[in-house]
Amino acid sequence: MKKPLMLTNTLSGKKELFEPRNPNSVLMYVCGVTPYDEAHIGHGRCYVTFDVLFRLLQQLEYEVTYARNFTDVDDKLLNRAEKELGDRMRFGEVAQHYIDSFTDDMEKLNCMKPTVEPRVTQVIPDIIRFVQGLIDKGHAYAVDGDVYYAVRSFPDYGKLSRRTLDDLQVGARVEVNDKKHDPLDFALWKGEPAGSFWHSPWGYGRPGWHIECSAMASKFLGAHIDIHGGGMDLIFPHHENEIAQSEGLFGPRFARCWVHNAFVQVNKEKMSKSLNNFFTLKQVFEQFDPMVVRYYYLNHNYTNPLDFSFEGLQVAEKNYRRLCAFFDETCSADEFNQSPTASLMIDKLCDDLNGAALFGVLFEKWDELKNNEQERSAVKALFQDLMGLTLLPLPEQQVEITPEIQALLDAREKARQERDWKKSDELRDQLRQLGIEVQDRKA
């Protein structure tokens, strides 16, 4: 079923018709996580959004190659390893733990596995070749074991975030680092003491963050791709720098369409650990079924900020229960390619992934579908295959979260963070007596 797909392209600032380079296939790269901590509700929103896009593109009969990376070497990881294991070179153990945890969260949210999930540590020779290529082309320079990208060598710098070099110059922090020729230049390779990390033409060291994505996208997808995605917070500098690197080496245009999902806010404020309004997916899953969380995301269009709240999730849960009851086990999930209702729903999704409008079609046609078994079966299949909602009835338990229960949940979270397993188990037992079953995460 080929239909035109409209997507908001950050590069043009407009909603436009999506046209891949090859009419039958799509190359999509989405920036993955740095596995140094648990994934939060902002990550959940991002990867559910791109999961729906992945499913939709396949429905539109494209052959899709979807790459999503793990940044498994990075300052944050090294700091965590230093702090928890007393040795920053044990960052690999920290990374593996959080990669497993992330994978578990994605499975719970019913996100399909990307075609490839490369890790930075597996592509170091490719990164070194990429950096050398940029030096050879005059876009980068080595100083004392570091390599920097010369931002002024790339005239298009700023085209994604619509900033000029002069704007940036004014805002640039005066850094202590005087190795750079220009304060705007950014690191491609970070020198480290001899014998540590990886050997390179510039001595021992490790890659900078931005170069990893350019190198992995070119290795697994090619020099020019169709869709590059990620959270809006990555537009500058990360994606701007990716463009400078990839187009610096291979020429324009690195990605045809840049798709960015908006922030998740809590009480109208950006989520942050310091504001204490920060929720991991696992914390939310302790109170809500992951399918309710997925349904909640899908009801909010990705281009708008999502004001996250537990009240909002409660409403979503109520509606999701209604949905599961409507498409109960007496309703089979059939092929939906011939269904007029499904077609109407896909049209909504093709309009910049308008999930809210898709659900709107269902509520408009609710009575009609009630009496039309065939259409109801088709719509059920669409929800399962395209929206990734399993529609399995939720357990009836669902106890109301009173302030007392919330206090116990918070205390248990604190105990877990402090690695006080005994206290954490005691609190779990107390919660159990109140009818709250908390999941045990791996330590």
Residues that bind Zn ion (CB under 5 A): 31, 213
* Residue nearer to Zn ion on the CB measure, 213 or 350: 213
DSSP 352: T
Q: How far is the CB of 294 from Zn ion (least distance, A)?
A: 24
Q: How far is the CB of 169 from Zn ion (least distance, A)?
A: 24
* Residue nearer to Zn ion on the CB measure, 158 or 237: 237
* Residue nearer to Zn ion on the CB measure, 143 or 235: 235
* Residue nearer to Zn ion on the CB measure, 151 or 234: 234
Query: What backbone phi and psi angles, to 5 degrees, belong to 231?
Result: -75, 155
CA distance 134 to 115: 28
Integer-rounded Cα Rg, in Å, for the chain is 24
Q: How far is the CB of 341 from Zn ion (least distance, A)?
A: 38
Q: How far is the CB of 213 from Zn ion (least distance, A)?
A: 3
Q: How far is the CB of 225 from Zn ion (least distance, A)?
A: 12
260-263-268 Cα angle (round to 5): 155
Cβ of 442: how many Cβ atoms within 10 Å? Answer: 7
197-202-205 Cα angle (round to 5): 20
Q: Which amino acid is at 194?
A: A
Helix, coil or strand: residue 144: coil
Q: What would the two tokens of residue 8 be? A: 């908001």
Q: Which amino acid is at 427?
A: L
Q: How far is the CB of 228 from Zn ion (least distance, A)?
A: 8
Q: How far is the CB of 31 from Zn ion (least distance, A)?
A: 3
Distances (CA, A) of 405 to 394, 437, 440: 21, 11, 17
* Residue nearer to Zn ion on the CB measure, 213 or 378: 213
CA distance 286 to 282: 6
* Residue nearer to Zn ion on the CB measure, 116 or 357: 116
228-230-235 Cα angle (round to 5): 90
Helix, coil or strand: residue 155: coil
Question: 65: which strand partners?
Answer: 27
* Residue nearer to Zn ion on the CB measure, 109 or 213: 213
Q: How far is the CB of 366 from Zn ion (least distance, A)?
A: 42
**Is the Cβ–Cβ distance between 65 and 116 less than 8 Å?**
yes
* Residue nearer to Zn ion on the CB measure, 31 or 60: 31
